[in-house]
Structure 1
Amino acid sequence: MYKIKTTTKFEKDLKLIKKRGYDLKFLKEVIEILSNGDYKMNNYIKLNEDRWNNVKNDYTEPLTHEELEEVRNNPISVALTVGKKVPKEWFEKANGKKILGLACGGGQQGPVFAIKGYDVTIMDFSKSQLQRDNMVAKREGLKINTVQGDMTKPFPFENETFDIIFNPVSNVYVEDLENIYKEASRVLKKGGLLMVGFMNPWIYMYDADIVWDKPDEELLLKFSIPFNSKELEEEGKITINPEYGYEFSHTLETQIRGQLKNGLAMIDFYESCDKRHRLSRYGNDYIATLCIKL
């Protein structure tokens, strides 16, 4: 999970400034980053974006034609978390079919929604992930609107645009959740549904190397909650592996109250388990929530 060695150099962005013709807006963003401390640390979003543009894993493999043919002939089946599908009853509660897949690129959930008759918009900060949605849409003759965007900033949509926002596990890559839930509520219609999957914070108390790669070593508590890989790297306590990126456990209060204080009410909830690692013996490591906009 959190072994990171960053390779981004400030010189690369200096070259980018020149390439962009000294665009004032871009220069202002760079100055804000530099004035706020260590360049690398404050640019973790870009580093995570680069990671998703280059990594290959289960979440970057688009659905095949054969898999989508199965989707056509069966009830909707998509995942917010590892280990369990979203109950179809959640979608039946929606007042309409205009859906935003938030941080949901990769050619997996988006095409399923499109095949099931939803008006689909996918927003993701990874250009590569969005390209996979576009590729599947073209191959299957589907309509999917893709938008490259950073969910730590204002969403590029009008107020009360969507009936559903579907946000599979992704806010683990964002340090501050306040903007995500504020903007999600803003762009949801009244009575709209927010479906969110996130990590159960307790798993971050253990060393991920031992959890995943060293089955013979004893599991020991190592980190406090909330886990913040950016701060831990600044303190020299961990190094970050570019294959995984910067991760943040958050707390249940931040996740759940973050939704409730933005005009949303929780109406359902479930947990799920990733059986690929040892911690699954001791508890569920994923949580999914369903909220409605009041």
Structure 2
Amino acid sequence: MKKDFVKINEKTVDEWCKQGWEWGKPIDHQTYINATKGKWDVVLTPNIVVPKDWFLPFKGLRVLGLASGGGQQMPIFAALGAQVTVFDLSDEQLKSERIVQQREGYDITIIKGDMTKKLPFKDESFDLIFHPVSNVYVKDVYHVFKECSRVLRKGGLLLSGLDTGTNFIVDESETQIVHKLPFDPLVHQDQYDFMIKNDYGMQFSHTVEEQIKGQLQAGFELLDIFEDTNNEGRLFELNIGCYIGTKSRKK
């Protein structure tokens, strides 16, 4: 069984973007201009717009987009006056960031990297981390939250989109429960085969307990939370929650 799941995910996301993946499409010019005028919204999960009161004042705010490439959120934050850095594993996701940056002419630091390793930033480098759903591509979420805490200043905010595991138990049609939890394709051959067959990369389920506890143990306090669904498919039609968004502050 192939163990280098990071390389698999890098290649998979690159291919998704080339095929027109929703989360790899950069925003258009008008969306950027609207943001400069204060008309904007962003998402951490598929549907629900992140509440405006989850953010700090943007002028001069040091923002890290963690696994947040795609040219969707960082351009908005730049338009609002933030100092933005994006960190992502996928060349194609970072290509989307460059497309918007070159078109609109704002400053951004673009770094390719692997969040399963130590982040290439000094302690307390950022005021806010924006972390859309991506922990599914990581086996050890405790490491991710520890690194987020390290690179955030005291009082800094971590805004996260988190998959709660429901998506992992069903088949392709989302009509039958077929997989046991935790979902770990590096341990279970049938789950590995399922992911490869469907071109899903290597993804891992994480419980709400694991992800909230991971934040708490890393020195965060939970300030707010919302639940969200997929944006298509049988689970969406049944309004079954599959994600949470969390707002946490470093103590």
Shared fold by TM > 0.5? yes
Q: Relative to structure 1, is the Cα distance of residues 284 and 235 closer, same or farther in structure 2, using a 3 angstrom cutoff? A: closer
Answering whether residue 4 of structure 2 is matched by residue 48 of structure 1, we say: no
Partner residue in 2 for 1:264: 220
What CA distance in whole angstroms lies between the structure 1 residues aligned with 2:168 and 2:13? 21
Answering whether residue 64 of structure 2 is matched by residue 64 of structure 1, we say: no
Alignment of 1:1-294 (within 5 A): 38=1, 40=2, 42-56=3-17, 57-92=21-56, 97-207=61-171, 209-211=172-174, 219-233=175-189, 238-241=194-197, 243-280=199-236, 281-294=238-251
String of CA shifts for 1:185-235, please: whole Å, max 9, x gaps.
00000000001101121232211x122xxxxxxx22222222123323367
What CA distance in whole angstroms lies between the structure 2 residues aligned with 1:117 and 1:171? 28
Tell me how many residue pairs correspond in the alignment: 247
What CA distance in whole angstroms lies between the structure 1 residues aligned with 2:144 and 2:173? 32
What CA distance in whole angstroms lies between the structure 2 residues aligned with 1:245 and 1:72? 36
What CA distance in whole angstroms lies between the structure 2 residues aligned with 1:170 and 1:155? 15
What CA distance in whole angstroms lies between the structure 2 residues aligned with 1:110 and 1:195? 13
More moved, 129-138 vs 89-98: 89-98
Unaligned runs of 5+ in 1: 1-37, 212-218
For 2:227, give the aligned amino acid. E
TM-score (norm 2): 0.92
Tell me the C-alpha RMSD between the 2 structures.
2.0
Whichever of the two has the greater Rg, that structure is 1
Q: Relative to structure 1, is the Cα distance of residues 70 and 278 closer, same or farther in structure 2, using a 3 angstrom cutoff? A: same
CA contact 2:58–2:77 (8 Å) conserved in 1: no
Q: Which runs of 4+ in 1 moved over 4 A?
A: 93-96, 234-237
Q: How far did residue 139 of structure 1 move?
A: 0.8
For 1:283, give the aligned amino acid. I
Task: Give the fraction of aligned pairs with identical amino acids, expressed as a percent.
Answer: 39
Bigger helix share: 1
TM-score (norm 1): 0.79
CA contact 1:62–1:133 (8 Å) conserved in 2: yes
Unaligned runs of 5+ in 2: none
SS at match of 2:34: helix
Q: How far did residue 94 of structure 1 move?
A: 8.0
What CA distance in whole angstroms lies between the structure 1 residues aligned with 2:242 and 2:31? 27
